[in-house]
Homo-oligomer: A and B are copies of this chain.
Amino acid sequence: MKYSLFAGGKRLRPILMIETCRALEGDVNVIMPLALGMEMLHTYSLIHDDLPAMDNDDLRRGKPTNHKMFGEATAILAGDGLLNFGVETMLQGTKGLSGERLSNYIGAMKIIMSASGINGMIGGQVADMLSEERVISLEEMDYIHLHKTSALLEACVQSGCIIARAEPATQGRLISYSQRIGLAFQIVDDILDIEGNEEELGKPVGSDEKNHKSTFVSLYGMEASKLKVAELEHEAVGMLKPIGVNTNFLEKLARYICQRQK
Q: How far is the CA of A256 from the CA of B171 in the complex (A)?
A: 54
With contact pairs A77-B129, A106-B94 given, residues A117 and B51 touching in the complex (Cβ less than 8 Å):
no
A224 within 8 A of B: no
One of B84, B91, B125 near A109 (C-beta < 8 A): B91
Q: Is A135 an interface residue when CB atoms closer than 8 A count as contact?
A: no
Instruction: Give CA–CA (A85, B114) in the complex, Å.
Output: 8
Range class of the A interface residue count:
35 or more
Main secondary structure of the interface of A (DSSP, over half): helix
* Known pairs A1-B118, A94-B106, A102-B102; A126 contacts B77 (CB<8 A): yes
A88 touches B73 (CB 8 A): no
| Contact between chains at A77 and B122 (CB < 8 Å) | yes
Pick the contact of A80: B48, B53, B72, B92 (CB < 8 A). B48
- Nearest B residue to A83 via CB reads B83
User: Are B73 and A129 within 8 A (Cβ)?
Assistant: yes
- Which residue of B76, B87, B102, B106 contacts A53 across the interface (Cβ within 8 Å)? B76
Interface residue A74 (Cβ < 8 Å from any Cβ of B) = yes
Decide yes or no: A84 and B83 within 8 Å by CB, A76-B53, A91-B106 being known contacts.
yes
Cα–Cα distance between A87 and B112 once the two chains are bound (Å): 11
Q: Are A91 and B77 in contact (CB under 8 A)?
A: no
Chain B residues with CB under 8 Å of A51's CB are 76
Question: Is the C-beta of A113 less than 8 angstroms from some C-beta in chain B?
Answer: yes
Residues of B within 8 A of A80 (CB): 44-45, 48, 79-80, 83, 122
- Which residues of A pack against B, CB within 8 Å? 1, 44-45, 48, 51, 53-54, 71-74, 76-77, 79-81, 83-85, 87-88, 91-92, 94, 98, 102-103, 106, 109-110, 113-114, 116-118, 122, 125-126, 129
